[in-house]
Amino acid sequence: MVFAPLIRDANLASAIEDYEPAYRLYLDGGPVDDRNLDDIVSWIERHRDLKDPALRVLDVGAGSGKLLRRLRDTRACVATGLEPASALFDAYRLAELGVLPMTLPELARQSPAAFDIVTVLDVIEHVPAAGEFVEALGRITRPGGLVFVSTPDLGGPLARLMGRRWHHFNAYHHCLYRTATLATAAALGGFEVVEAGHVSKHMPVNYLWHYALNFGLGSRTPAAPARGGWALTLNLHDIVSTVWRRT
């Protein structure tokens, strides 16, 4: 595990204008997103049926609300989201979705054992207090419930090849994990790991271009156009996707 102590928490302190064009492209989304979101839904449904109206789902770090909207449009489960970054909460009008403007530990204190499914997708690396966050996951998840986590893989081949120049070493990421470290975190939170691996993702070419400039070369590009056009299906084995079951 690699931990970066905070001087300024870019996740919570940034205004929407401060985000790199590539980050805004990621948040804004586009036609390719539906394919990625449907892949996430299919991943979850290999373990639980999201058409069950009694199933309660929590999306931690809802971002712009893309997954939450997709679940509500296509599935019968009761889906709720959290987003503590006020810039995202306001810019993407998350109050209209019923997203809660709070952190996971705050919600866990209010509503213990409240959810059957918790999604933590590209989020846990943004959290500076890793132990508190994992403990809150254990409290918010019902016994037998599942947590779906995706995060950069510090032990992957790309991270080992690039070293300190790995693009996930950036101002937004405070904790980076190897797969074995995630398993340790799961056990400390009261979970067992039931699945771990690397999956493919559909990536628009214009997003990849801006991402390489913004996070690879540190260049601030002009405002990016909407996502669309050509897309590539990539699996660089630098994102690990894992499923935890609450014991």
Per-residue b/e over 66-89, b at no fewer than 16 CB within 10 Å? bbbbbbbeebebbbbbbbbbebbb
Amino acid identity of 247? T
> Is a pLDDT exceeding 80 seen at residue 229?
no
**pLDDT tens readout for residues 42-65:** 999 999 999 999 999 999 999 999
CB within 8 Å of 226: residues ≥ 6 apart: 28, 30
What letters, b where the CB count within 10 A reaches 16 and e where it falls short, cover 166-188?
A: bbbbeeebbbbbbbebbbebbee
Q: Encode pLDDT of 172-205 as tens digits.
A: 999 999 999 999 999 999 999 999 999 999 998 8
Planar angle of CA 126, 129, 133, nearest 5 degrees? 85
For 171-181, the pLDDT digits (tens) are: 999 999 999 99
> What pLDDT score does 153 carry?
97
Q: 28: how many CB neighbours lie within 10 A of its CB?
A: 16
Residue 1's nearest CA partner among 120, 131, 116 is 131
Residue 111 has pLDDT above 90, yes or no: yes
For residue 70, give the nearest of 103, 44, 108 by alpha carbon.
44
- Could you give the percent of the chain with pLDDT greater than 70? 97
State yes or no: pLDDT of 223 exceeds 70. Answer: no
**Which distant-in-sequence residues (6+ apart) come within 8 Å of 128 by Cβ?**
5, 6, 9, 174, 175
d(CA 62, CA 146): 17
Angle in degrees, CA 160, 165, 166, rounded to 5: 55
Question: What integer pLDDT is reported at residue 149 of this predicted model?
Answer: 98
Question: What is the model's pTM?
Answer: 0.95
Q: Domains in the chain, start-ordered, CATH in brackets?
A: 2-6+35-199+235-246 (3.40.50.150)
Beta strands in 31-163 (DSSP E): 56-60, 78-82, 115-121, 141-152
* Mean pLDDT on 103-124: 97
pLDDT at 225 over 70: no
Q: Say if residue 206's pLDDT is above 90.
A: no
Q: Is the confidence at residue 84, as pLDDT, over 80? A: yes
pLDDT band at 215 (very low <50, low <70, confident <90, very high): confident
Give the pLDDT band of residue 31 (cuts 50, 70, 90).
confident
Confidence of residue 224 (pLDDT cuts 50, 70, 90): low
Could you tell me the pLDDT band of residue 216, with boundaries at 50, 70 and 90? confident
- Mean pLDDT (whole number) for 24-52: 94
Please enumerate in sequence order all residues whose Cβ is within 8 A of that of 107, keeping only pairs 6 or more positions apart, or say none.
58, 82, 100, 136, 140
Does pLDDT of 6 surpass 90?
no
